[in-house]
Every structure is written in C-alpha cells, then in structure tokens.
C-alpha cells in the first residue's frame, strides 16, 4: 500500500498521460482533416481540367470564354490601361472578393498567408496554396509567402489583360485555362543586383517598386545591374531595359494566365490562335497561314 502522497502522484501521472493521448489523437484528426481537404481540392481541380479537355476540340484548346467572368471588359485608352477600371479578383478558395485598388488587393491577399493548408508528406510539413487552379506545394514557408504575394501581382496583370483584349480589339484565347494561375518557381527572395545594393524582397511588387527608384536616380541613364553597364539616351529606354533583368511583366492573358512584357506580345499570343484563312501572310515553305507579317517572319525562322 502506498502513502497518500504516492497515490496522488500516480493519479497526476495518469491524468497527464490521458491528456497527452487525447492531444495526440486530436492532432491526428486535424492532420487527417487537412489531408482530406487538400485531396478534395486537388481532385476538384483535376476534375475541372478533365472537363475542359473533354469538351475541347483537342488537348491544347478549350472553348473560348469558358472561364470568362460575367462583367464586360472596359475599353481603356492605352496610356491608362494599367491604372483605370481594373477589376482584380482574389481567387483564394471561396473568397472571391473584387478590388479596384491594387494596394488593397495586396493587403487582402497577404491576410491569406496564415490560411495555407499544412499536410504531412513523408514526415515533412508541406504548405499548400489554395488559390484557384494553383495547387502549389512546398516545404519552405518563406517560398509560400513569395508565391502568395505573386498571386496578387498576377491578379493585377490578369485584370489589365481582361481590358486589354477589348482595347486592342482582339479575339478570345483558346488555350487551356486550367493552368491559368500556376506561377513560375520562386525558390529564393527577389534580390536587387544593382551595384551597391543587396536588398531582398518577399513581395514581387515591392521588388519592382524598389527597382523603379534605382532607375529614377540612375546617373546618365546607365544600367548598374551587376555585369551590365548599358547606357541609354532616354530614361524610358532604361526602364524598358531593366525589365529584362527583373523579368517584370506588364500584362497577362485573362484566359490562360500567360503574362507578357508588353501589349504587343499579348496581341501576338491571341492573333496566333485566331488566324483568318483568307490572310495573305502564308509561308512559302510549309503553307502555314499567319495573322500578321511579323508573325510570318517569326514562323519563317523555324525553317
């Protein structure tokens, strides 16, 4: 027979063991729930893609407008295309908030960072992005932060492209839209390589805003990006050149999500898919019909 104090200690140990067992079982339930949620999202996206491909004429195209929103695009003067009448959507899971102000969108999207799903994959925590038709997964939480911030930037490009198609009077894209929100890999911070500067950014827009300051105060319109040194007669040309270093894009195709460095690239993207048979721009080698003389020259380089 033990003393009362020994019995009390045993009871405390039993209660602690019981509490730990309950906590472990609860964590397992939560982990299982997370996995079920992620599996549902992945399966939903897979079903959506299969549907798109099933109704398409071939595996490369889908019916035009299958993902178009109900709002009509605005015809905007080209000089104001990137600032006026932008209808930017947060596509995080069931959020679907609309914004006209880019800064408000960025702030809103950052709030979703704390909502990423976490699953266990071979004993390692994996963070999963819940942006529509994205499904990006990584074990690096900092990479996930960069990734989600990029979605806000990409949403703005999509909004610009939505109005840009109307402004440029272009036909709709016929590409597969099930990958419209899949982004380029972002394995490291956005690093400024301007001479004498080594700042890093988790926000792609913060990086671009920082680079604009370097361009604004560049002496003699000289590019001081590491290893460059190119000189330009006008500030505007330096601005365009620096984008080749930073990979900044100015517009995206609303339907398939591809983003481009200028309006003409979006035009080429859509014109390639909508060629009139009676076009006079026909390749003399293979007979392919192109929409414009420029696209014909681009095509001819392949021969």
Indicate whether 57 pLDDT > 50.
no
pLDDT at 14: 72
pLDDT at 35: 52
Mean pLDDT, all residues of the chain: 82
Indicate whether 102 pLDDT > 50.
yes
| Residue 148 CB coordination number (10 Å) | 26
Indicate whether 26 pLDDT > 80.
no
pTM of the full structure: 0.73
Place 282 in a pLDDT band, splitting at 50, 70 and 90: confident
pLDDT at 154: 97
Indicate whether 101 pLDDT > 50.
yes
Indicate whether 204 pLDDT > 90.
yes
The string of pLDDT tens digits covering residues 120-131 is 888 889 999 999
Lowest mean pLDDT across 35-49, 106-120, 143-157, 282-296: 35-49
For the segment 199-226, the average pLDDT, to the nearest whole number, is 96
Indicate whether 64 pLDDT > 60.
no
DSSP the chain: ---HHHHHHHHHHHHHHHHHHHHHHHHHHHHHHHHHHHHHHHHHHHHHHHHHHHHSSSTTB--TTTT--SSPPP---GGGTTTSS--EE--BTT---EES-HHHHHHHHHHGGGG-EEEEETTEEEEE--BTTT--EES-HHHHHHHHHHHHHHHHHHHHHHHHHHHTT-PPP-B-GGGTTPPPP--S-EE--BTT---EESSHHHHHHHHHHHHHT-GGGB--BTT---B-SSHHHHHHHHHHHHT---EE-TTT--EESSHHHHHHHHHTTS--TT-SEE-TTT--EESSHHHHHHHHTT-
Indicate whether 32 pLDDT > 70.
no
């Amino acid at each position: 027979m033990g003393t009362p104090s020994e019995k009390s200690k045993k009871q405390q140990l039993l209660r602690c063991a019981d509490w730990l067992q309950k906590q472990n079982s609860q964590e397992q339930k939560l982990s299982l729930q997370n996995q079920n949620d992620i599996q549902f999202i992945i399966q939903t996206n897979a079903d959506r893609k299969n549907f798109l491909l099933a109704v398409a004429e071939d595996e490369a195209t889908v019916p035009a407008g299958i993902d178009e929103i109900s709002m009509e695009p605005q015809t905007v003067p080209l000089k104001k295309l990137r600032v006026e009448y932008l209808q930017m959507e947060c596509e995080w899971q069931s959020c679907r908030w609309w914004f006209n102000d880019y800064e408000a969108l960025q702030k809103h999207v950052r709030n979703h960072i704390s909502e990423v799903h976490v699953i266990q994959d071979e004993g390692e925590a994996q963070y999963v992005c819940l942006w529509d038709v994205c499904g990006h997964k990584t074990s690096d939480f900092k990479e996930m932060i960069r990734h989600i911030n990029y979605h806000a930037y990409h949403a703005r490009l999509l909004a610009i492209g939505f109005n840009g198609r109307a402004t440029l009077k272009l036909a709709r894209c016929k590409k597969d839209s099930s990958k419209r929100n899949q982004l380029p890999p972002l394995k490291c911070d956005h690093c400024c390589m301007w001479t004498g500067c080594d700042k890093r950014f988790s926000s792609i827009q913060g990086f671009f805003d920082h680079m604009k300051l370097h361009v604004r105060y560049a002496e003699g319109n000289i590019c001081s990006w590491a290893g460059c040194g190119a000189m330009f007669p006008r500030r505007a040309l330096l601005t365009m050149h620096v984008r080749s270093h930073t990979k900044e894009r100015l517009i995206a195709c609303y339907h398939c999500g591809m983003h481009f460095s200028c309006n003409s690239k979006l035009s080429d993207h859509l014109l390639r898919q909508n060629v009139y048979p009676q076009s006079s721009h026909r390749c003399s080698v293979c007979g392919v019909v192109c929409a414009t003389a420029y696209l014909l020259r681009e095509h001819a380089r392949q021969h």
